[in-house]
Amino acid sequence: MGSSDIMESIVQRWFKGAVIEGKEWSCGDITGRAQNNRGSFHICRDGTCIDFDGSWPRSNVIEAITSDDRLSLTGEKITVEQVFEGICEDTGEDFFKAETGSDRYNVWFVKSKEKFLWCAPDKTWSLLSERMLKEQLRVVYGLEDQNPKDEKGNPLDNKSEVETVVSDAIQNRRVDYNLRALAGHEAGIERLPDGATYMIERSGRWLEPRPSVSCQQAAH
């Protein structure tokens, strides 16, 4: 399934009154009601949306669906989980991974950098090579770097505890990019409509413009 299938699913489920206008959809407002003449709320195929009447700024369409603005108009609270569950039902694209025993170590593999992103117990983030990550897993968590063996010396597993965590990150906890912070976004993993994923390490504050200063005030 491609990003176009995902967007079709989102629009059909949550913006039932939307119609296609050129390369995007439009409807009456953020609730997805049918438009009168030309709709002011527009949804693009890249997953962004905007209401040209000024009631909703350009943003991610999932933010719009789960927003308090939409809730105030419909009385229906929609969660991010519900949106992704709908995508899974419609397209078979499953964005949820089963939890593994390695999740508690907070390690992700960043594909674009071929390195590992680790959130330490003190909540600080580090981008590490595989060698450095293994060292941290040994020192911080006391994980073994040797394959476990029984009392007779026979191997019980083909991977050590350290190798198991590293392998799990590569297979199950992969992101395409990592960002230190992104204004207006909470810490966590976000997925773009084209399937690319990025890890936001910490919540970012909205950028606030500085008050303008006139030339006359600057002179004083």
109 and 192 co-located in one domain: yes
- Compute the distance between CA of residue 41 and CA of residue 49 in angstroms, rounded to an integer: 7
pLDDT digits (tens, 9 = 90+) for 94-103: 665 555 567 7
Q: What is the b/e burial string over 94-112, where b = at least 16 CB atoms within 10 angstroms of the residue's CB?
A: ebeeeeeebeebebbbbee
Q: Tens digits of per-residue pLDDT, 114-155? A: 999 888 888 888 889 999 999 999 999 998 887 655 566 665
Q: Please check whether residue 81 lies inside any domain of the structure.
A: yes
Contacts of residue 200, defined as CB under 8 A and 6 or more positions apart, other chains included, come to: 179, 181, 182, 185, 186, 187, 188, 189, 190
| Predicted local distance difference test score (pLDDT) of residue 100 | 56
> What confidence score (pLDDT) does residue 94 get?
65
Identify whether residues 200 and 107 lie together within a single domain: yes
Domain that holds residue 66: 3-91
In a domain, 159, yes or no: yes
Residue 209's alpha-carbon distances to 206, 212, 213, in angstroms, are 10, 8, 12
Band (113; pLDDT cuts 50, 70, 90): confident
Kindly state the DSSP code that residue 149 receives in the 8-state scheme.
B
Cβ atoms within 10 A of the Cβ of 88, count? 14
pLDDT digits (tens, 9 = 90+) for 67-98: 999 999 999 999 877 888 888 888 887 665 55
Q: Tell me the CA distances in angstroms from 84 to 53, 80, 121, 159, one per residue in order.
A: 28, 6, 29, 34
pLDDT at 212: 44
pLDDT, position 213 = 44
Evaluate whether residue 210 is within a structural domain.
no
Domain count, the chain: 2
DSSP SS3 for 115: strand
